[in-house]
Structure 1
């Protein structure tokens, strides 16, 4: 490809030679040139493409013509956006096509969730790292796994990380009943925080197409996706824990935890495998996971007759960093168990069987 550039007071004028026989002059913004080139390069590498030509600019992208080697020509309507959220894609998909041709999305960064929505709805996408997907007119383009150097501008970490106590309380209130529709004011009053904090969390969920806003208020629409993304962010920072070993088997250890409460008043809350099987007995396990108040752990270790170890633990004690971890805890067959939501978050950190358990609890207790 040959590119000649002349600098004007309004931007760059790119003279792009799309084929050996034709030149087209297109006025583009500097930020858009890279996106246009990403699409052009992908199509011109295909052996059955004879010509690729940008016809004209639009308010939100451009329209291009693609000629195949058998003479067939089809149009591409490209949306070129510097920042894109899943909700943005949903809005684009809802627009009428008006028979203009195949639609594609171009952006510096396209998340996995955005890509999934595009593919499910037949909209192609191209990012600046070379990841792309396009299906149509006997063409199949798919490339993934290229690392994108563009930073993800609205990271989920700030909403989902362990230290975000207020955000955590808002999310937990939403998951107490995922069918409930909330007004921002009512949710802020229920949690005891500002409307601005609630608006921030709900706005993030809506932008990522995990929640919807209606005339009645806000509601979670994709609880499973929220929990999985929350679990990923949750696991980026290792939780403080005390791995311990006991000569007792699992059932004896769990009985001793009940006796610990009776004899000393020290409360413990089952999570992970031992908590999850109380909701969905789908896995076998050989390790107890439990929450305790930090100030109670030393006395509990002495009472239980366990020893802290570096490997081979059959009990893991997590100090309660804040009370949100035990919000909506339950008593099941005499044992204190954290909520299904907390079980899912903790079990997702236990790869393999833990992920299987989290999925089962999610389906049985949260997505009914």
Structure 2
């Protein structure tokens, strides 16, 4: 049964119930009690579960955190390990949170700490007992939080940082360069630090795990909202390429366009040509492309695809690897390739090796 040595907070109560439900299904275990602990003075775990395993007593020393992100988990694991080492040799440390990501699960395993989350993911091992359970889906709250980190305004901040991943950024600098409010930059900063994708230094915010950040962005990425248009051009080969570069390089203060997806990858990290040419453009940029490439609408047999994105800041995140060859940035090109089917995934992997490799 669940026994309270002290009144438990709501989160700890849920943690205790989840632990009890997990353990009561293990035939060789008998639950004697699950008790809340005093919090005054020296650090104490939130819960201690007293078990009988084949007639022998064993303790589960548990710490509950309302946020299971790496930033909070790491300190909890340290406290748990220290407590068990100093006061409870016949005990197993357990970290509990509403949701524990795969990265934190791996961290728990590396530190020799069991884990349980309120979504049902669990791994507890001691003696002859081994419990492991995996839930495939991320909780809705976690998915919303991740998506918010990669929405257009937040993405402007991330793209700015990934252009100079070793740089330490002040919040005011990021706000000015990415054209995003100070409040929004601060929210992004918190999200990055909580996941240990960035750290705060004396000089500012520094990306500490750009690869992990890019991995998560890729997993959450969907094609930018906007109008998708398909055309046919009679131009081919170098004639088409020269005409496109001429249109993209026109700087008359109106209209922006850029090579995108496979077409951008040809300039950034050539991998394999496709029969279709890809562009991002605003309305005026589209008019320039139509004129330069002699585009005609096509319902089939198209060889030019243009996205007019709602987020026009995508057209500010460009590079020019050769005169007139204005391309979406390596990060944006990588993301677009990653959702472009099997060939796109292969081209994305090649681009990442060539242009998006950072010291670990």
Report the equivalent of 2:227. Answer: 240
What are the residue-to-residue correspondences of 1:136-155 with 2, within 5 Å? Answer: 136-145=126-135, 147=137, 151-152=141-142, 155=145
CA distance in 2, matches of 1:199, 1:245: 45
Aligned partner of residue 274 in structure 1, secondary structure: helix
Matched, 1:361 2:351: yes
Report the equivalent of 1:278. Answer: 267
Report the equivalent of 2:32. Answer: 53
Matched, 1:229 2:216: yes
CA distance in 1, matches of 2:271, 2:57: 55
Contact 2:68–2:97 (Cα < 8 Å) also in 1: yes
Residue 74 of structure 1, CA deviation: 3.3
CA distance in 1, matches of 2:249, 2:166: 37
In 2 relative to 1, CA 290–117 (structure 1 residues): closer, same or farther, beyond 3 Å?
farther
Residue 46 of structure 1, CA deviation: 2.8
Residue 57 of structure 1, CA deviation: 1.6
Contact 1:129–1:147 (Cα < 8 Å) also in 2: no
Matched, 1:347 2:331: no
What are the residue-to-residue correspondences of 1:196-235 with 2, within 5 Å? Answer: 196-235=183-222
- Greater share of residues in strand: 1
Q: How many residues align?
A: 342
Q: Once the two structures are superposed, what CA deviation does each residue of 1:151-205 show, in whole Å capped at 9, x if it has no partner?
A: 339613333213x2xx333222211211112233444454455543332221111
After alignment, is 206-215 or 301-310 more displaced? 301-310
Residue 284 of structure 1, CA deviation: 4.5
Q: Once the two structures are superposed, what CA deviation does each residue of 1:73-95 show, in whole Å capped at 9, x if it has no partner?
A: 43222122333322111222333
Aligned partner of residue 82 in structure 1, secondary structure: coil
Aligned to 1:300, which of 285, 289, 312? 289
After alignment, is 114-123 or 256-265 more displaced? 256-265
Contact 1:243–1:308 (Cα < 8 Å) also in 2: yes
Query: What TM-score do the two structures reach when normalised by structure 2?
Result: 0.79
CA distance in 2, matches of 1:151, 1:263: 45
Q: Provide the aligned C-alpha RMSD in A.
A: 3.3
Residue 206 of structure 1, CA deviation: 0.4
Report the equivalent of 1:254. Answer: 241
CA distance in 2, matches of 1:348, 1:116: 25
Report the equivalent of 1:36. Answer: 16
Aligned partner of residue 74 in structure 1, secondary structure: strand
Contact 1:288–1:316 (Cα < 8 Å) also in 2: yes
Report the equivalent of 1:89. Answer: 73
Residue 213 of structure 1, CA deviation: 1.4
Aligned partner of residue 129 in structure 1, secondary structure: coil
Contact 1:55–1:64 (Cα < 8 Å) also in 2: yes
Residue 275 of structure 1, CA deviation: 1.1
Query: What TM-score do the two structures reach when normalised by structure 1?
Result: 0.78
After alignment, is 32-41 or 182-191 more displaced? 182-191
Contact 1:243–1:316 (Cα < 8 Å) also in 2: yes
Mark the runs of 5 or more structure 2 residues left unpaired by the alignment.
40-44
Contact 1:287–1:313 (Cα < 8 Å) also in 2: yes
Mark the runs of 5 or more structure 1 residues left unpaired by the alignment.
1-15, 18-23
CA distance in 1, matches of 2:176, 2:247: 36
CA distance in 2, matches of 1:288, 1:133: 49
Q: Once the two structures are superposed, what CA deviation does each residue of 1:14-64 show, in whole Å capped at 9, x if it has no partner?
A: xx27xxxxxx555433443332222222233234x3323335323452012
In 2 relative to 1, CA 216–96 (structure 1 residues): closer, same or farther, beyond 3 Å?
farther
